Each structure stands twice: as structure tokens, then as C-alpha cells.
Amino acid sequence: MLRRLALRDFVIVDRLELEFEPGFGALTGETGAGKSILVDALSLVLGGRADGGVVRAGQERAEVAAEFDVAGDGPLNAWLRSNDFEAEDTCLLRRVIDAAGKSRAYINGASATLSQLKIAAEWLADIHGQHAHQSLLRPDAQRTLLDSHAGLAGLAREVAEAFRVWQRLREARQKAEHDSAASVREREMLEWQVKELQTLIFDVAQWQEDNREHSRLSHAASLIEGTNMTMQALDEGELAVVPMVDQALGRLRDLQEVDASLKEPLELLESARIQLGEASHALSRYRQHLELDPQRLQELEARLEAVTSLSRKHRVAPEELANVAAELGARLDELRLLADPVALAEREASAHRQFESFAKKLSAERKKAAAKLSKQVSAAMQQLAMAGGCFEVALEPVPEGASFGLERVAFNVSANAGQSLRPLAKVVSGGELSRIGLAIQVIASQAGEVQTLIFDEVDVGIGGGVAEIVGQLLKQLGSGRQVLCVTHLPQVAAQADWQWSVAKETAGGKTLSRVNALDRNSRIEEIARMLGGVKITETTRKHAMEMLGLP
């Protein structure tokens, strides 16, 4: 669950640190006071889109940090460990945005990509925005909600991937049937190119060694001359260094017998003599293997020219020819397959069977989930002043199959008793849509594993007794989860286990937003304000106390 939220220079918040409680919490305040700023901040730290406009005027950057309690052996910590993040009993998400709109993300103090932040957030919190009801009118959103509610998102991705594989092979077969002549020409050209590369037997390590050997052979005369001259200077000439050093050492050893302080220069000279000797022996060994070999030089030049010519032909560096050979070979294998209609048809059929296997499994699970969700939402509609109404998740067959499976998902509804079921978008008013949408969100959330749920003014368009029932639903949801609801309805706020009020204040000529945790008395005042407007009377206070269940 969400434990702490810290904001710095975010919109009209200078600095704010909040500690959250479990259960159902309500966030209230005057219109425009900044209630949704907290939701926007949470959305941002959970991986939402960054915008430089969230940086408070006159500041360089904004910062949002959220700390969550997590299960030490849960899936989030397993994912964190597998991605080299610290995994503890708490998870700290942090987002920094500068005035230019650039952002940085952190997980438990370590730098993270935005996609990693979003993945981690999926285990931590869900935000249901005030426009979520409208999204339910889209068929893709209805299908996604059903799959998510039933825990079928992973299987749906497998179905989509299997469908793509099947379609690629289907298109390949069709292309082969209609463009066989072009495929034959391309295959013949590739066979010649692959054979040319294979004949070269190119290897990067061998290419580098050939270049080194070519360099030695092409400069062999200079190397031999230079080596001989150096050996003469060291050990073989009339004025060779090594014999002269030997003479000096003999004389210095005799002198050391007279003056022991010559020990240090003697040792240095002996060390130099040893190194001169090793250099002389190394040059001798090198010289023995150094020879003029015009024939080998010619062979190397021919090979290097062949490699260089092919690299120019394929417009790559010589070191990349091995990759070119692999790519051309793979394409050639593909074309050879296209030239074999029987093998291609078998692969297509196999991919189709794989798709059908996944899709049928998804269909069976969707059927069970659709029946359960239909029953639950229909029951909730009775509570939300839609007596006799009925909700149905219909599965419309798609015999040929699609990336989403073997059926379309459609939400149908009958808002009143005796009315036939029709698509959700065609039969409900704005108020009915709000109620049905809220019921769906609450029920879908109950099935999920996320422990923190944020509802941002999802009660728009309802009131009276229905609002009280909505509050009861959220309170019920808060018995097992942490629920935070931004609301303007006193009937909803009064059901909360705890309540915060958001207000604007002016300090130093700047407008800032403040959040206050409400105690018993201040909560009575806030509910009374929500009930009675500007002027609060004793009657509204009594009504507020009654709604709060206070004596």
C-alpha cells in the first residue's frame, strides 16, 4: 500500500509530504483547490507522461516520490531482483522533471527507464480517472477490461503473437504463389553471392592476422636491414655495446674491492648488461624467422584484395562480411522454403493450429469470466438506482479469428426492467453510464492484486441516495485494499475511514496548495461545507454529524 508521497515544486505545491493510512480515504476541497494535483503527481510517479508545465513557476524542476509497502516474497521484489534493483519491504518510486519536459526515473534509489517504472507500478497502484466511463464505450477497452479482470492479459498476448506468426506465413505462401518468377531470380542471385562468400572462408581473426603478416612481408627488407644493424651495434660489430659493457663491468668490480660505495652503480650496470643480452637474444630469434617471401606476399595481397573487393561490393567494412554472409544465408533459406509450397503450407498449417489452440483456451476462460462479470455488474446496478437493469458481457464469434482471438467482446445493457439488451454506447444516459462504469471499475478492482486504488472524481453525474451507495461500495472495497477517492460528494466522503481537505492559500504573492488531515471536528465542518455551501449552519453541522455516524 501507499505509505508516503512527497512533492516538491509541483504545479502550485512548493513542498508537501503526506503519510497515508490503510482503508478508504477521501480527498475533498473547493473546486479548483488542487484535489487532482495529488492524483496527477501519483500518475506521474507511476510512469505517466511528463510535461514541463508541471514544474512550479520560477523553478527549475519538479520532483515526486512515492513509497509503498510491498511483500518481501511477492512478484514485484522478484522482478526487482531480476532487473538488478534493491528489493526490500518498501519500494520507492521517484520522478524528476525539468522545465523543458525532460524527466528521470528512479526505483529504490537506482536510475530506471520509464518502461521499468511503469512495470513496477503495475504491482503497486491503479488510477481510475473521471473519464474512464467514456473509454468503456470502445470495444477494445471493453475487451481489455474483461481480460484484465479475469487475469487473461498474458494469454491474450500469446494469442496475438500466434496470430501474427500465422499471418506472416500465410502472406509468405500467397506471395510465393503470385510472385514465383521474382523469387527464383532473387534466389539464384543469393545463391551466387553466398557461394562467393563461402569460398572466401572469411574469419575476422584470420583477417586481422593476414593484415599483420602482410605488413611484415611487405616491409621484410627494411626489417632485416634494421635488425642486422641493431645486432651489429649490440653484439657483433667492432664497436659493439655488449663487449664494451663487459669490459667496464670487469674494471668496476676491481674498483669495488677498493671502495664499497661503488656497489650501487655496479648493480645498475649489471642489470643493464642482462637486459642488453636479452635484447640481443630476442633480436637473434626474430631474425631467424624473418625472410623475404615474395610468393607468400603475393598470396596475401590477392586474398586481402578479394576481401576488400567483396566488402566494397556489399558496402560494409571487411569485419562485417561474416554478418552479411549469415543474413544472406538466412534470406536464401527463406526463399528456398518459399520455393517449396508443400513445406510452406505445412508451416502455415502448424502456425494456424498453434493460434487456434491458444485462442480456444482464451475463449473458454473469457466465457467463464464474462458470465461472472455480467452477474456481478447486474447486481451492482440494482444498488445504484437501476432496479430491473441488466448487464451482459457478450462474446460475438469471429470464425476466421483475429489478433484478439475468436470473439469480439461487447458490453450490452438494459437500464430498466423490460428493456432489451443493447450496446452500452446506445442506450445509457450520462448518469447511467457513470453508475455502470463505476460498478464495473469497483468489481474489476476487487479481482486484481493491486493494493492501492485511486478514484479521481469517478462519482461525477450521480448524487442523492446513489452517492451514498457509491460511498458504501468504496468503503467495502477499502476493507481489503487501500482506496483513495477524490470526490465532491458529501455522501461519498462521509463513508471514508479518513479524510483530507485541499485548499489554496496565498503566501508572498504566490498561490500554493495545502493538504490538511481532518480530525473529528474539522471533518464535521468539511462535510457541512460540502452539504451547505458557503454559509454553514447548525442544521448542516448536525446533518454532517449524522452522515458521519457521530453522536
Per-residue pLDDT reduced to its tens digit, 145-157: 888 888 898 899 9
**41 vs 57, 191, 322, CA distance in Å?**
16, 59, 51
Closest CA to 245 of 265, 220, 261, 216: 265
Geometric angle at alpha carbon 435, from 432 and 438, rounded to 5° = 145
How far CA 236 is from CA of 129, 239, 417, 455, 496, in Å, comes to 92, 8, 117, 94, 102
Q: What is the pTM of this model?
A: 0.60
Q: Binning pLDDT at 50, 70 and 90, where does residue 188 land?
A: confident
Q: Which residue has the higher pLDDT, 372 or 74?
A: 372
Q: Do residue 533 and residue 500 come from a single domain? A: no
**Sequence-distant (≥ 6) Cβ neighbours of residue 65 within 8 angstroms:** 4, 5, 6, 45, 92, 93, 94, 95
Residue 454 scores a pLDDT above 60: yes
Nearest partner of 4 among 50, 46, 64, 58, judged by Cα = 64
Provide the pairing of β-strand 2-10 with 13-19: antiparallel
**Residues 506 and 532 placed together within one structural domain of the fold:** no
Question: Do 523 and 512 belong to one domain?
Answer: no
Residue 105 falls inside a structural domain: yes
What residues have CB less than 8 Å from 312, skipping those under 6 apart? none
My answer on whether 111 and 78 are in the same domain is yes
The residue written with cell numbers 483475429 in the block is: 402
Measure the CA–CA gap between 548 and 551, rounded to whole angstroms. Answer: 9
Beta-strand runs (E) in 284-404:
390-402
Number of domains in the chain: 2
**CA nearest neighbour of 148 among 328, 349, 409, 359:** 409
CATH number of the CATH domain containing 489: 3.40.50.300
The mean pLDDT of 463-481, rounded to a whole number, is 84
Other C-beta atoms lying within 10 Å of the C-beta of residue 74 = 15
User: Residue 391: beta bridge partners?
Assistant: 413
- Written as nine digits, the cell of 501 is 481537505
Mean pLDDT across the chain:
83
Q: Is residue 383 part of a domain?
A: no
Q: How many residues does the chain have?
A: 551
Q: How far apart are CA 448 and CA 151, in angstroms?
A: 8
Residue of 337, 400, 34, 12 lying closest to 183 (CA atoms): 337
- Has residue 217 got a pLDDT over 70? no
**One domain, residues 550 and 487:** no
Residue span of the structural domain in which 535 resides: 519-551
Could you tell me if 4 and 53 lie in one domain? yes
Distance CA 170, CA 345 (A): 8
Q: Are residues 55 and 11 in the same domain?
A: yes
Question: Position of cell 517504472?
Answer: 117
Grouping H, G, I as helix, E, B as strand and the rest as coil, residue 91 is: strand
Same domain, 77 and 15: yes
pLDDT range class, residue 166, cuts 50, 70, 90? very high
pLDDT tens digits, one per residue of 355-396: 999 999 999 999 999 999 999 889 888 887 788 889 999 999
In a domain, 492, yes or no: yes
Is there a domain that residue 261 lies in?
A: no
Domain presence at residue 530:
yes
Residues 508 and 534 in one domain: no
User: What is the C-alpha separation between 343 and 338, in angstroms, rounded?
Assistant: 8
**Of 381, 445, 458, 368, nearest in space to 412 by CA:** 381
Burial label for 427, CB within 10 Å (0-12, 13-18, 19+), is middle
Ramachandran bin of 509, using left for φ above 0, alpha for ψ from -120 to 50, beta for the remaining angles: left
Q: Are 296 and 216 in contact (CB under 8 A)?
A: no
Regarding predicted confidence, which is higher, 143 or 191? 143
Average pLDDT over residues 494-506: 88
24 by Cβ neighbours in 10 Å (0-12 / 13-18 / 19+) ranks as: buried
Q: Which of 369, 381, 495 is nearest to 438 (CA)?
A: 381
Binned at pLDDT 50, 70 and 90, residue 25 comes out as very high
Question: In the block, which residue shows the cell 489452440?
Answer: 357
Q: Rounded to whole angstroms, how far apart are CA atoms 145 and 150? A: 8
Identity of the residue numbered 375: K
Query: 448 in helix, strand or coil?
Result: coil
C-alpha grid cell for residue 125?
A: 497502484
Instruction: Answer whether residue 288 is part of any domain.
Output: no
**Distance between CA 17 and CA 7 in Å, rounded?**
6
pLDDT in tens, 253-265: 888 888 888 888 8
Report whether 509 contacts 49 (CB < 8 A). Answer: no
Q: Based on the domain organization, do 51 and 3 belong to the same domain?
A: yes
Predicted local confidence at residue 444, as pLDDT: 74
Within-domain flag for 106: yes
Q: Tell me how far apart the terminal alpha carbons of the chain are, to the nearest angstrom.
A: 32
With a pLDDT cut of 70, the percent of the chain lying above it is 85
pLDDT band at 536 (very low <50, low <70, confident <90, very high): confident
Dihedral sign (CA 50, 51, 56, 59): positive
Same domain, 486 and 550: no
Strands 2-10 vs 422-423: parallel, antiparallel or unpaired: unpaired
pLDDT mean over 199-206? 68
Distance CA 503, CA 13 (A): 11
> Residue 376 corresponds to which cell in the numbers above?
456481478
Per-residue pLDDT at 191 exceeds 80: no
- Asked if 487 and 546 sit in the same domain, the reply is no
Tell me what pLDDT residue 64 has: 95
pLDDT band, very low/low/confident/very high, at 248 (cuts 50, 70, 90): confident
Dihedral over Cα of 128, 133, 136, 141: its sign:
negative
Q: Is residue 274 part of a domain?
A: no
